[in-house]
């Protein structure tokens, strides 16, 4: 039972990290777009 709970917890962590990475990538892409517009 502990093992199953740990697995479920890790799954939630992984999902959270994936969502976080997606947000960071989207944010950095937006920043790059803004900076390229700024330089023109």
pLDDT tens digits, one per residue of 16-38: 888 999 999 999 999 888 888 77
Instruction: State the alpha helices, DSSP H only, in 1-40.
Output: 2-39
What pLDDT shows up at residue 22? 93
pLDDT at 8 exceeding the cut of 70: no
pLDDT band at 40 (very low <50, low <70, confident <90, very high): low
Q: Model pTM greater than 0.75?
A: no
- Angle at 39 (CA atoms; ends 35, 40), nearest 5 degrees: 120
């Amino acid at each position: 039972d502990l093992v199953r709970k740990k697995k479920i917890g890790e799954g939630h962590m992984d999902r959270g990290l994936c969502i976080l990475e997606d947000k960071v990538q989207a944010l950095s892409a937006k920043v790059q777009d803004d900076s390229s517009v700024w330089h023109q």
